[in-house]
Chain A
C-alpha cells in the first residue's frame, strides 16, 4: 500500500516537473525580441534538393546583394537588413513549415525562388496577411491577387510578349497566324497554355494544336509529326532546356526547322539550351527573357559582378544569380518605401499590423523602380496587377550566342481569375 502511494506521488511529481519544463522546450524556438534598429527579411531558398542547381546560385545572389546593401550602403535608410533564411529543399511540406517560422520570427515579408515553393507557402501566407515575393512565379501565385507579389513576368506573360512581338515583327500574312504550342507537363508549360487560352483571340492568333511532353522525354518525333500535319506558322515551346533541345533536334530532323519560327519561354532559354541542342541547330531560335544578359552595360552590373567574383566565383555568368541579386535590390526598395511611410516601431513588432504596413506602404509605393537596369522597371502600385516587372526582352540565338533583339516589351495583364476554367 505504501509502495503504491509513493509510486503515485512520484508519478504526479514527475508529471508536474515535465509540464513545468515545457517552457524550456518552447524556448528552443525563441520569440523574436522586439528590438529596434533592424529590418527583418525572410527568405525561403531551395539551397538543396533537386532544384538546387537554380536555387543555390539564387540564394547566393540574394545573400550577396543584402551583404552589399548592409556593408556598403549602410542598410536601408540606416537600418541594416537582418536576414532569416532557411533551406526548403524543394519540398512542399518544408516550405509550409518555413513560412510559419518566418512569421514567428517577425519578418516583414518573405521571398521564395521557385513557383512550386510559393504555391506551397502562399495559402498560409495569404490567410495570415503575410506578404510574399515570388522570384519565379506562376499565374496561380498572383491570380486572384491577394498578398503575393511576383518579381517578374510569369510563363504566361512570356507567351503574351512573344505573341505580341511575333504579330508585330514576324508575321506578314493575312488573317490569323496558326500557332502550335508544345508544353512541359507542369505549371511552367501550362502557364503558357492558360495565357494562350485567355489571350490568343485578343491578339489575333489561332492556337491550332497543343502538345505536351515530359521533362524526361527522349523523343518528340511523334508529337512534332502531328504538329507538322497541321501546318503551323509558328511554334511556341514553354519548357526547360533539356526537352526543348530534344524538340529542336527533332524539328530539325523532320525538316520543320529552320522554316517555321520557334519561340521559347524563359525557363528554357539559357546557354544550356544552346549547348544541348548544338549551336547549329539552335541558330535563329527566338526566346524571351525578363532580364538583361550577363555583362550588358547597365548601372547595376559592375557591382554585381564584383561581388559575384569575390564571394561566389562559381556562379559567374549565371542568370539566376543576377535575377536573385535584382530581387534583393527590389526587397530593399520595398523596405525603403515602407520605412519612409511608416514608423519604425510599427515595423519592428513584426506582427500582422507590421505586415499590412509593409504591404500597403512598402509594396504599393514602389513605382517605376529601375532595379539599376538589370531588368524591366518594377511597379507594384496597381492592386490588380501583382507583377513587379511586366516587361521582357526578345532574344535570338545568333552564332551560338544569345543576343537581345528588342528593348523592353510589355506583357499585357491577363486577368485569369475572370475565366471560370482557371482553377481557384
Chain B
C-alpha cells in the first residue's frame, strides 16, 4: 500500500517535471509577447526529429549533433517570428492564436514530408537500470529530465531578472509602446523570445523522446503542458515548475486510485478536467497575474 503510494508519488513528480520543462517554452513566449503558442507540441516534435536526423541518419557524434539541434531551434524560432508573427503585430489576439494553429499544421506537414516514418528511436543515452528509491523505481531519463528542467528554470529566471534583454522582454509584455519610446527594438525582443522558446522546446523534446521514442504523441504531451501553464499561471516560470509536478501527481495518484473505481483510462483525462476546474475557480492560475482590463 505504502509502496504503491510512494511509486505513484515519485512517478508523478518525475513526469510532472517533464511537462514543466515543455511548459517553460510556452510561458517564455507569453511572458515576452503575450502570444499564445498553440504550435508548442509541433515545435517539440520537429526538434526531436531533427535530433534524430542528426544523430541517427547523419550519424554525427553527440557533441556535434546536440549543438546543431540548438542552432536549428534558434533558426526555426527566428523564421517563425519573422515571417508569420511580425506581420501580425498589432492584430487582435484571435488572429495571433489562429496563426499559430496554422503554423502547427505547417510544421506537422513538414515533419511528414522530411521524415515519413511515424516512430523512431533515439540512441539510448542513459543506462537502463532504474534508480531505486525505497521500494519505488524511477528510470534514469526522468532524473536527468528533472535536473535539466530545474537548470533551465534557474537560468531563465536569472535571465529575466537581471539580464538587460530579459528586463526588456518583461517590459515589452507590459507595454510595447513605452518600450519603443525607450529605444528598445521590440521586433528583436520578439525574435529572441521565440528563439529561446524553440530551444527550450527542443531540449524538452529530446528528453521526452529519450523516454518514449519520437512519435506524434509528442504533440499530445504538448497539449498536456497547456494544463500546466493554465494551473501555474501563464506568465510565471515559478508557476510552471510548481504546477508541473502537481499535474503529474494528480495524474498518477488520481489514475492510481480512481481507476479501480471508475474504470481504466481516467488518467488521460485528468489534466483536462483540471483545466476546466481551474478555469472556473481561479482562471489566472496559482501564480499568474490577474488581468485588469480598462476600456
Could you list some 24 contacts between A and B, CB below 8 A? Answer: A50-B216, A52-B112, A52-B116, A185-B265, A212-B265, A216-B215, A216-B218, A218-B208, A218-B217, A218-B221, A222-B7, A223-B259, A223-B267, A225-B4, A242-B119, A242-B212, A242-B213, A245-B212, A246-B211, A250-B139, A253-B130, A253-B139, A275-B120, A281-B128
Tally of chain B residues near chain A (CB < 8 A): 40
A217 CA to B215 CA in the complex, in Å? 10
A272 CA to B118 CA in the complex, in Å? 10
Of A222, A225, A241, A276, chain B has the most CB atoms within 10 Å of the CB of A222
A244 CA to B72 CA in the complex, in Å? 31
A278 at the interface (CB under 8 A from B): yes
With A222-B252, A229-B4, A242-B215 known as contacts, the answer to whether A278 contacts B220 (CB < 8 A) is: no
Q: What's the least CB distance linking A264 to chain B, in Å?
A: 15
A384 at the interface (CB under 8 A from B): no
- Please name all residues of chain A whose beta carbon is closer than 8 Å to the beta carbon of B119 when the two chains form the complex: 241-242, 272, 276
A218 CA to B213 CA in the complex, in Å? 9
- Please name all residues of chain A whose beta carbon is closer than 8 Å to the beta carbon of B267 when the two chains form the complex: 222-223
Tally of chain A residues near chain B (CB < 8 A): 37
B264 at the interface (CB under 8 A from A): yes
Other-chain contact of A225, B124, B213, B256 (Cβ < 8 Å): B256
Given A218-B211, A222-B255, 5 other A-B residues pairs in contact with their CB atoms under 8 A = A53-B118, A212-B265, A215-B215, A218-B221, A222-B8
A275 CA to B260 CA in the complex, in Å? 33
A214 at the interface (CB under 8 A from B): yes
With A52-B112, A219-B11 known as contacts, the answer to whether A211 contacts B264 (CB < 8 A) is: yes
A275 CA to B265 CA in the complex, in Å? 27
Quick check: A219 and B7 within 8 Å, CB to CB? no
B268 at the interface (CB under 8 A from A): yes
Chain A positions within 8 Å of B, measured between CB atoms, are: 50, 52-53, 56, 183, 185, 210-212, 214-219, 221-223, 225-226, 229, 241-242, 245-246, 249-250, 252-255, 272, 275-276, 278, 280-281
Quick check: B137 and A278 within 8 Å, CB to CB? no
With A218-B208, A242-B213, A252-B128 known as contacts, the answer to whether A225 contacts B8 (CB < 8 A) is: yes
B64 at the interface (CB under 8 A from A): no
Residue of A nearest to B8 (CB): A222
A226 CA to B14 CA in the complex, in Å? 18
Q: What's the least CB distance linking B56 to chain A, in Å?
A: 10
8 cross-chain pairs, A with B, having the tightest CB-CB distances, nearest first: A216-B217, A212-B264, A216-B220, A253-B130, A53-B118, A212-B265, A276-B213, A221-B11
A337 CA to B156 CA in the complex, in Å? 71
Quick check: B139 and A249 within 8 Å, CB to CB? yes
- Please name all residues of chain A whose beta carbon is closer than 8 Å to the beta carbon of B265 when the two chains form the complex: 185, 212, 214
Give a binary string over B225-267; 1 marks a CB under 8 Å from any A CB, 0 the rest.
0000000000000000000000000001001100110001101
Q: What's the least CB distance linking A55 to chain B, in Å?
A: 11
B117 at the interface (CB under 8 A from A): yes
A245 CA to B121 CA in the complex, in Å? 10
Q: What's the least CB distance linking A187 to chain B, in Å?
A: 14
- Please name all residues of chain A whose beta carbon is closer than 8 Å to the beta carbon of B8 when the two chains form the complex: 222, 225
Quick check: A226 and B217 within 8 Å, CB to CB? no
- Please name all residues of chain B whose beta carbon is closer than 8 Å to the beta carbon of A252 when the two chains form the complex: 128
Other-chain contact of B217, A183, A211, A242, A250 (Cβ < 8 Å): A242
Other-chain contact of B212, A211, A217, A255, A278 (Cβ < 8 Å): A217
A219 CA to B251 CA in the complex, in Å? 11
Other-chain contact of A275, B121, B137, B221, B252 (Cβ < 8 Å): B121
- Dominant SS at the B interface? helix
- Please name all residues of chain A whose beta carbon is closer than 8 Å to the beta carbon of B130 when the two chains form the complex: 253
- Please name all residues of chain A whose beta carbon is closer than 8 Å to the beta carbon of B4 when the two chains form the complex: 225-226, 229
Residue of B nearest to A211 (CB): B264
Residue of B nearest to A53 (CB): B118
Total number of A-B contacts with CB less than 8 angstroms? 103
A89 CA to B264 CA in the complex, in Å? 31
- Please name all residues of chain A whose beta carbon is closer than 8 Å to the beta carbon of B74 when the two chains form the complex: none
Quick check: B212 and A222 within 8 Å, CB to CB? no
B28 at the interface (CB under 8 A from A): no
Q: What's the least CB distance linking B80 to chain A, in Å?
A: 23
Residue of B nearest to A219 (CB): B15
Quick check: A249 and B128 within 8 Å, CB to CB? yes
A337 CA to B220 CA in the complex, in Å? 48
Quick check: A222 and B11 within 8 Å, CB to CB? yes
With A53-B117, A278-B128 known as contacts, the answer to whether A254 contacts B137 (CB < 8 A) is: yes
B18 at the interface (CB under 8 A from A): yes
- Please name all residues of chain A whose beta carbon is closer than 8 Å to the beta carbon of B112 when the two chains form the complex: 52
- Please name all residues of chain B whose beta carbon is closer than 8 Å to the beta carbon of A276 when the two chains form the complex: 119, 121, 212-213
- Please name all residues of chain A whose beta carbon is closer than 8 Å to the beta carbon of B117 when the two chains form the complex: 53
Quick check: B212 and A246 within 8 Å, CB to CB? yes
Residue of A nearest to B1 (CB): A229
Quick check: A218 and B212 within 8 Å, CB to CB? yes
Of A211, A216, A218, A226, chain B has the most CB atoms within 10 Å of the CB of A218
Residue of A nearest to B145 (CB): A218
A132 CA to B121 CA in the complex, in Å? 36
- Please name all residues of chain A whose beta carbon is closer than 8 Å to the beta carbon of B213 when the two chains form the complex: 242, 245-246, 276
- Please name all residues of chain A whose beta carbon is closer than 8 Å to the beta carbon of B221 when the two chains form the complex: 216, 218
- Please name all residues of chain B whose beta carbon is closer than 8 Å to the beta carbon of A278 when the two chains form the complex: 124, 128
Other-chain contact of B256, A217, A222, A242 (Cβ < 8 Å): A222
- Please name all residues of chain A whose beta carbon is closer than 8 Å to the beta carbon of B256 when the two chains form the complex: 222, 225-226
With A276-B119, A276-B213 known as contacts, the answer to whether A218 contacts B15 (CB < 8 A) is: yes
- Please name all residues of chain B whose beta carbon is closer than 8 Å to the beta carbon of A221 when the two chains form the complex: 7, 11, 137-138, 252
Residue of B nearest to A242 (CB): B215
A245 CA to B212 CA in the complex, in Å? 8
